[in-house]
A = this chain, B = another copy of it.
Amino acid sequence: MEKVSEYIQEHKDRFIHELIELLKIPSISADSKYKGDVLAAAEAVRKTLESAGADNTELCETEGFPVVYGEKIIDASKPTILVYGHYDVQPADPLELWDSPPFEPIIKDDKIYARGACDDKGQMYMHVKAFELMMNTKQLPCNVKFIIEGEEEVGSENLEAFIQSNKEKLKADIILISDTSMLSMEHPSITTGLKGLSYLEVEVTGPNRDLHSGVYGGAVANPINILCEMIASLKDENNRITIPGFYDNILEASTEERALMSKTPFNLEDYKGKLGIEEVHGKKGYTTIERKGIRPTLDVNGIWGGYIGEGAKTVLPSKASAKISMRLVPNQSDEEITQKFKNHFESIAPKSVKVEVKPHHGGEPYVMPIDIPEYKAASEAIVKAFGKEPVPVRAGGSIPIVALFEQVLGLKSILLGFGLDSDAIHSPNEHYGIENFLKGIETISYFYESYSNSYD
């Protein structure tokens, strides 16, 4: 594997140049105006896979934008890595907050600035280039398949149908994804968990019309007061969620993982300072990192009711509503928790009001155990590229496709991200460090080897 860093040194300018060309295509999947550009990006990705040495490259039709496919099967008895990424990007507005046009990439301070630079064109392209490297240096030790979709930023709506109907084609041993971040270049990390999500909307109805709060106040239930009381009762004084059965079956993080997590570089004073808060807040008995990563949470995401204009209006409103979401950890299931919430919320409503609970959408949690060979192979690749062991990080966010892959294909995903939280993805001035890009290519190349070795 000595040729890896040499190859990268030799070809890095071309790698960057090619990525910049791809970033020039405004492949905004959310805006139908850009339909042609999204399709052009798909074709560009197909071509680049082909040039890198992939066989059977094609644009697989879906109800929406195509999934780009490519593969290299060197030996059916060898393990197969399935790489997932996406070629579509977020809208670029507000445009006026960009220092340079989002689809005219520039390099500044060793970072590439453009929409999609990190999410996910830059990270996805690392895989194409690592594959090219392995092919051109004749080191590819296993089979590879690529699926690069064009609808990740609009909810991957057609991906499930694609996977369901291509189970044979997508047969693999592990999924490799670079669409997350790592702690820092000094503290490389691997995302070992994603939370699931149960998102609901609740509506509390009191009287059948808005009333005068002087004439009816104190005698008729005020749906805002009641909603507040119901929401408050969802947590006890230790911030434990009170929904019956909420914590049933939770797969607790192992002592080893908690010990590793506790080594995550984290400065509480700095964290509080950046958020402008005096104290953190959460479930008793857990650190901030654990609260974020391994504990399920319940947050009100929106609340409204009554008069919300300027000044004062003495109304006792008919209705009050809230959007409430719960982040789930392994082995909670979206459907089960949604039902438990609904049952509980309806049961605690006083007779003086009516309550409606409407589930919005959800997703299942995901966890990658750190004691399986795939994780150890990824860890080894990081050690080789960065010179230090990665920190396993359980993320608070949700990427529903990862749970989907597990459900439909029965495969674990390795979330090997090289972005930084400061990369401004989904925001103006998105960028991606050139060092991150090149280290990513290097790490992925090493992973091919460590993974194949672990499989033997």
Contact = CB atoms under 8 A, between A and B. Distances in A.
Interface of A: 195, 197, 199, 201, 206-209, 211-222, 224-225, 227-229, 231-233, 235, 275-283, 288, 291-292, 295-308, 311-317, 320-323, 325, 327, 350-353, 360-361, 395-398
A268 to B, nearest CB: 10
Contacts of A292: 215-219
A197 B314 contact: yes
A229 B231 CA distance: 7
Contacts of A353: 277
Given A277-B352, A278-B352, 12 more contacts: A201-B312, A212-B397, A213-B299, A214-B397, A219-B291, A219-B396, A224-B301, A228-B300, A299-B316, A301-B314, A303-B306, A312-B360
A129 to B, nearest CB: 29
A113 to B, nearest CB: 22
B216 A396 contact: yes
Copies in the complex: 2
A184 to B, nearest CB: 16
B301 A307 contact: yes
Contacts of A231: 224-225, 228-229, 232
A13 to B, nearest CB: 35
A348 to B, nearest CB: 12
A288 B320 CA distance: 23
A196 to B, nearest CB: 10
Contacts of A216: 275, 292, 396
B327 A280 contact: no
A361 B232 contact: no
